[in-house]
Amino acid sequence: MPKPFKNLTEEKQSRIINAALEEFGSQGYDQASTNAIVKQAGIGKGMLFYYFNNKQELYHYLINYSFHKMKKQFIEKLNMEERDFIKRFKQTSLLKMEFFSNHPHMFNFLGTVLLVADDQMPEDIRRRIKEMRAVAYESIYKNIDFSLFRDDVDADKALQLIQWSMEGYQQNLSARLEGKKMTEIDLEPYLKEFDEYLNVLRTSFYK
Amino acid sequence: MPKPFKNLTEEKQSRIINAALEEFGSQGYDQASTNAIVKQAGIGKGMLFYYFNNKQELYHYLINYSFHKMKKQFIEKLNMEERDFIKRFKQTSLLKMEFFSNHPHMFNFLGTVLLVADDQMPEDIRRRIKEMRAVAYESIYKNIDFSLFRDDVDADKALQLIQWSMEGYQQNLSARLEGKKMTEIDLEPYLKEFDEYLNVLRTSFYK
DNA sequence: ATAACTTTAGACCAGTGTGGTCAACTTTTA
DNA sequence: TAAAAGTTGACCACACTGGTCTAAAGTTAT
């Protein structure tokens, strides 16, 4: 919709988008301050409402923009042929990490958007959110080979436990890495650690 | 500190305390509104600042009060003799559930307080928070019998995975029960489900 | 050179909500 | 009955909100 915005240099667009993603992501829609956004983006107050008519329009633009990026740089790269749940999970995790590394603010923003279900949103946005949730769900559960799990436990429960435990690990890792810049981290030891945990899970839950 | 407050009927004290716990717990210190608290508590604005001189004093009172309750109704009931990690975890979970059932707002409030580390707080409060964290840590890890774990996986990792997965389960359960009143829930099927998950973990991670 | 147009900044607006105060009133105590 | 304690909510100065608008600067076309 915003015509003048598209004519900006990429650098300026991205400054504004990133400032807005960060503010909405950390404060939520209501608490997010347009003043904070323009300050962070280094533009005058008037410009934001020149490019986007109001706060809500900016928010919806960010959702559509982020979904577009997520589709192209995350979802389309998923290989749903992998039927081993743990391998699939690892693959998804690495893609998520890559995405976070490239777009940390967007990653966080997307997390908050997919979490809340806001009845105030226009129908098309709500539909896209639901669609994204469905894709995320399928990326985890669809086409999994349950015969890999050991026979003396319920495979559905085992799968859930694996998922929960690795989400816990990822939260734990995020906390440990908090504040550090993604670019100046040597990922290798963390990837090794991640694999070790996955191997424990494989040893324990698989045949 | 607040002399007049202690002379109130228990019912009125608890109305105020619960209103404040709920507001601080859901909004955080800064966003919490004293107007919302007095409205929810059904008292005049003046009274809150008569009992407690300011917002911060009220907040600190709530921390001390909640820690006291937590110590008496949770920590002192822990049986640290149980050396089986899964049994110990189950015991802790049931105590937590009981505590939540009796003081839902306080439970939530305590969660937020123990999570954030605020440098603004006075030394004595900071010390008590650290102390609480240490106790919580020990209640999970101290005196655990690692020989119960299977030999072909790293016991520390297995323990972490169990903890993370069960935290995930508890979050999942919370989400499923959200909105429902604790009193009108038949807990029995959930306890059964909880046990089933614990048994899967036992089968998978123990010898 | 100039007129027409687009882009920019930020002072400004009305509105909302904040933590906290205080004079007036009621209730309890002595 | 008088002093003391308890209680209320209108009120205060302040901070900040999303959004507007004027006036200036930059760009383009003639």
| Contact with chain B for residue A198, Cβ under 8 A | no
Q: Can you tell me whether residue A151 is helix, strand or coil?
A: coil
Contact A168 B167 (CB under 8 A): yes
User: Is it the case that residue A178 has pLDDT exceeding 90?
Assistant: no
Protein CA at A64 to nucleotide C1' at D18, angstroms: 22
What pLDDT score was predicted for residue A120?
80
- pLDDT-based confidence at B183, cuts 50/70/90? confident
- pLDDT-based confidence at A179, cuts 50/70/90? confident
Cβ-Cβ pairs closer than 8 A, A with B, add up to: 73
Contacts of B203 in chain A (CB under 8 A): 152-153
Contact between residue B101 and residue B185 where contact means Cβ atoms under 8 Å apart: no
Q: How far is CA B119 from the centre of its chain?
A: 22
B185: left (phi over 0), alpha (psi -120 to 50) or beta: beta
- H or E element, residue A134: helix A123-141
Average pLDDT over residues A55-64: 97
**Nucleotides in D strand less than 7 A from protein CB:** 5-11, 16-22
Mean pLDDT across chain A: 95
Contact between residue B48 and residue B37 where contact means Cβ atoms under 8 Å apart: yes
- pLDDT-based confidence at A2, cuts 50/70/90? very low
pLDDT above 90 covers what percent of chain B?
A: 90
What pLDDT score was predicted for residue B53?
96
d(CA B70, CA B35): 27
Chain B residue with minimum CA distance to A158: B200
When CB atoms are compared, the residue of A31, A154, A168 closest to B168 is A168
User: Is it the case that residue B137 has pLDDT exceeding 70?
Assistant: yes
Contacts of A205 in chain B (CB under 8 A): 204
Q: Is the C-beta of residue B56 closer than 7 Å to nucleic acid chain C?
A: yes
| Contact with chain A for residue B162, Cβ under 8 A | yes
What confidence tens digit (pLDDT) does each residue in B69-126 have? Answer: 999 999 999 999 999 999 999 999 999 999 999 999 999 999 999 998 777 888 999 9
What pLDDT score was predicted for residue B1?
45
Mean pLDDT across chain B: 95
- Residue closest to B22 by CA, chosen among B73, B66, B53: B66
Q: Per the structure block, which two tokens stand in for A147?
A: 């015969």
